[in-house]
Amino acid sequence: MRLRRALAVFGLAGVSLVSTAVAVRADPLGAAANQVVVRDGETKPVYDFGKAIRELVYVETPVDSDRDGKHDKLAVYVTRPKETDGSLKVASIVEPSPYNGGTLDVPYHPAKVTDYPRTAPWSPPTGPQPPVDYDPIYYDNYFVSRGYAVISADTLGTGNSEGCPSAIGTDEKVGMKTVVEWLTGKAKAFTADGKEVKASWSTGNVAMAGKSYDGTLPVAVASTGVPGLKTVVSISGIASWYSYYRANGAVVSPGGYVGEDADLHAKVVLTRKNAAVCEKPIREMVTAMDRVSGDYNAFWNERNFAKDMKNFKGSVLQVSGVNDWNVKPKNFTDLWTALGNNNTPRKLWLHQGQHDDPLYVAEQAWLDQVHKWFDHWLYNVDNGVMKEPMVHFEAAPGKWVDYRNWPEPGAHDVTFRFGANGKPAQPGVLTPFWAPGFGKKQSFVDDPNRTADSLVSGMDKADPNRLLYVSDPLPFNARVSGTPQVTVRASVDGKSPYLSALLVDYGKDTRVTELVKTQDQWCFGDTLGTNSGCRPKRVYKTAESDYQVVSRGWLDVRNRNSASVTEPIRPGKPYTFTWNMEPRQYQLKAGHRLGVVLLVTDQDYTLQYPAGTQVTATLGESSVKIPLVAG
């Protein structure tokens, strides 16, 4: 999740089909002054977006995160059909966000470690408050014209809100929960001059939706089980902040942002007035997140929303890019698994992009999907959306397939062992059979100045700074679908406590690199009044390459038995280390080779300890387990 405004992807609403009664008129020829109009299984655009009511209110929360002795108020910007000032009642789509007030430049923590991980000095911002901008919320013109209220809410300590941000700690979660409670008549809101404002126009059916941080807040609020929240659309959302900034005890960063940590997400969005009042709470965050040990502790448990999704009685539409190394894949799989364990109504879109909005990936198809989803869960429209396949996967750019679930039904684990090649100048072998050189030991020495790309390349030669094991050419096409797992019998001797592993697809191919803007634009249809629905088109950028990193995973060897407990190791003593890599959905082609690269420092993700740590692995007792589907 990048530390800047994430373009919002908007979403849904709704929980059970027997929830709050909603006035819906199936006859489109009737007046739309008091009933939402539905025809052909969908809400119709009968309300003039240009004449919509726009108002800023302040919802009073039960928390005092800035410790000034008063309840914090959240700024909430509402856009609703003008007919709601009469008898029309509408459902609400809420995008909670810390980004309406923009972002600040803050120092990253040092990535290089000399003695122990240090934190960067920081001072709270001073001076005038940055400008706050609520325009436009994604899809506002589309859904307001169809009889929805579209709402943007500043989270604690950001924009026009009071309080202090905390990377969605309890106060931030409860604060945003109160916005839902206001829409259901169970909380109070006020104008800037103190006059109480009731959401008398609300049906009490609420959806929360957004992307990145904006897609994480809905998950956090859902985990509270707040009544009235019927559905969540989470795009590139975080299920547990530990999986975003840590991995098996290792301090890791979103790809390319080494030195970022949970406190930076509070500092970068601290755009409220009088920001200095948040200095103490944020400094307490720095200590509590424990950048030294990397252990899972109370700070991270507070920000683990997946564990509490049993409280949620609504539905969830998830979206993730399979090449997203910002909000890494473990976050979408942890949430997806939790929803399945709790029998939550759910759907999943997986696309080939990175940290990207599905609107840029599938355009009209995505807009149609969220339209159906909102209509079904907020207005009880019987449109068949829940009869569609559960998983919609972009197997290649623009080519989609459907599955009953994820991982793919039929995926099963295949174990490949690390073996000797017999040729000292070449890498080892990766084999599903008996490993050549069983019991033999192989060593490498860490060089933190080497990039992962430099260590992955050179499939045909050995390298002193990594171990590489490569399979025979694959006899048929196959897909990785699930979570690979590495087991290494090894000793670790040096200052770095890390082990990193990369799963690599070796073989020349044209591969997706990113989504890029084009000069053309496309616009939403059926917008009455002002058309704010135009966006640049985006297309996939591809490039030919000899390899692609399929997955990667990290371990602090001191956390070999538990992410919560640091246990020192004895230098030179062999231990068996097992850790999960990032989950993946990835197509492998016949003739390509699978490779596993074992290293210490993964430069774009991990801390960089002094060079020289030596790792000695035992062949035959080291392996990788890969979930595969043939075809």
User: Tokens standing for 278?
Assistant: 């948040």
Do 209 and 272 contact (CB within 8 A), yes or no? no
Cα(first)–Cα(last) distance of the chain, in Å?
A: 33
- Give the span between the Cα atoms of 509 and 550, in whole angstroms: 14
Q: What are phi and psi of 440, to 5 degrees?
A: -70, 150
3-state secondary structure of 434: coil
Hey, what amino acid is at 324? D
**β-bridge partners, 117:** none
Number of residues in the chain: 631
SS (H, E, C) 237-296: CCCEHHHHHEECCEEECCCCCCCCCHHHHHHCCCCCCCHHHHHHHHHHHHHHCCCCCCCC
Closest CA to 240 of 326, 312, 331, 174: 331
* Contact (Cβ atoms closer than 8 angstroms) between residue 631 and residue 588: no
Question: Is residue 595 exposed (0-12), middle (13-18) or buried (19+ Cβ within 10 Å)?
Answer: buried
Active-site pick, 290, 324, 505, 602: 324
Please give the structure tokens belonging to residue 36: 């939402």
Q: Cα–chain-centroid distance for residue 386? A: 23
Residue 307 DSSP code:
G
Crossing angle of helices 170-183 and 213-222, in 10° steps, is 80
Rg (CA), the chain: 25
Give residue 570's identity as a one-letter amino acid code.
Answer: R
Q: Is 355 a catalytic residue?
A: yes
| Pair of tokens at residue 265 | 């997400």
- Rounded to an integer, what is the distance from CA 360 to the centroid of its chain? 17
Using DSSP, state whether 220 is helix, strand or coil.
Answer: helix
Q: What CA–CA distance (Å, rounded) separates 179 from 58?
A: 9
Residue 274 in tokens? 């009088």
Q: State which H helix or E strand residue 47 sits in.
A: none
Q: Which of the following is catalytic: 212, 223, 500, 622? A: 212
Element (DSSP H or E) covering residue 24 = strand 24-25
Tokens describing residue 477 = 């096409």
Would you please indicate which residues are annotated as catalytic (active-site) residues? 212, 324, 355
